[in-house]
Structure 1
Amino acid sequence: MVATPIGNREDLSPRAQAVLAEADVIACEDTRHSRPLLAAFGIAGELLSYHEHNEDQVAPRLLRRLRAGETIALISDAGTPLISDPGFLLVRAAREEGVRVEPIPGPCAAICALSAAGLPSDRFLFVGFPPRTRPQRLVWCQGFAKEPGTLICYESARRAAATLSDLAEGLGSERRAVVARELTKRFETFLMGRIAELAEQVAASPEHQLGEMVIMIEGDPRVDDERDRAEQARVLGILAAELPLKQAAALAASITGGARNQLYKAALRTRDQAD
């Protein structure tokens, strides 16, 4: 079995073309999207619809064909399969049965965007697609708010303004960010600025609300000690609102690894300032 990136005609490598031409069956998200592109290269093999809504049912059928010795090529509508696209269940099942899974290098929107973004690339965290609602997105942000590496997510351009606004609230409006839209296509666009600025820019432009986006945001710029102190203060504040200060400080120290005496003194200062 091979996992083959696909997208624009110009992005399809000669190796990928050869693999697709020789495959017994090509599993693809939408045969209507894939067929014209494959036809442009004279590839007219069997296509089988394989997407997130039928993966549970189709994966066993494909596995049976793999056991029988057939070669299956797995492609997505654009980019590299399994990167926020279906295919995980099939690849895992194939490997568990000892079936060879061969990756074919090619386009990946996250890596393509990061290489041209001008943000640090020595460490990054890909977080997939954001949740659809604002409350869910704000909770989602908490999971990686302290990540020091560059953050990368995918988003539909029509939801990008709302998502950027929530990212600004959840991560801090002053963080540098880059949005890349319609990568490797005719209307490829890169925008760079602070998160809040980009939210306003996208909201004000109907053009920027078309297509697909990669959103990249610089990681938490604070050093480890600053992040630790901020987390200790957050936990202490929650506990101190409900418990005696000594108990709150002891619990906060146990949860965060901070020094109990220092946390108790910090709680006293906060109380005195409030008074």
Structure 2
Amino acid sequence: MNLKSSNIFLTLFFTMNWLVATVFCYKPSSRLYQSSVLIGYKIYYFGGVGKNDAFFININTLEYIAVANIPVNIYQSSSVVHPKDENICLLVGGLAYEPGSSSLVSPNKVYRFDTEKSKWSVVETSNKPSVSSRLHLNGGVSDNNGTMYFFAHPDYSADSFIKLDINMMSCGDCSMKDLLFFDINSSKWSTATAQGENIDGRIYHTAVLTSDDRLIIYGGRSSLDEDGGYPNPTLAVLNIEYSSYKWSIPSSDNKSHPPLTGHSATIYKEQEEKREQMYIAFGK
């Protein structure tokens, strides 16, 4: 298994230039299926397969800084900023194990990280999800009332990924042009069909939204099989402005983008230069 190093790849969306930034100081080990979240000018990374460490990268200095370890080894979780306190991160779902143990931790538990104090606490919740559902827990969003929404599915059926959300939307031969949307304000689902370029179906890719209504997907695998290969193109853009959905492939050389799965992607907007960057880290 070829895991990528802790270098971070950057895509500049307005020029679509491709850069590789080498990070200095503390250097975390390679990893898969970690979660990430942006707070201010820091991108926090949590866990990964067999990992319980946590750290952030300072975007201004490109330095990694270690913070307090997570109480459990955890991966495939969703990390979100608390809707009422931007200094608090929540780790929800995924697979969590006590360090040195093969027993799953109760899915009732949510892990709360105070970024100012660098301190973890455990929150017990009610109406726990099933173990299989939390395995597929995917990107959280919150509404104006502080309610957070997550999307999950309880099994590995390839057809299950057709209409879930953009991160697990399709797999293998399923069409990336079939879109499903959930309005968190009205709690209603809607569907749409995207036009434009043909984009291979995929799973375990990342998706980030820019301020000018472009959804950038990156990487992924063509199937659940470890040897299933990588989809084409590696990088694609879905324009969702004015409810007009169209796939495109950036004019930059798509073959120069390293294929990845199990990675993290985070968007950051530079206020002074008024440009956005996508930070891609880890994976294989």
Do they fold alike, i.e. is TM over 0.5?
Answer: no
By percentage of residues, which structure has more helix? 1
The structure whose Rg is larger is: 1
By percentage of residues, which structure has more strand? 2
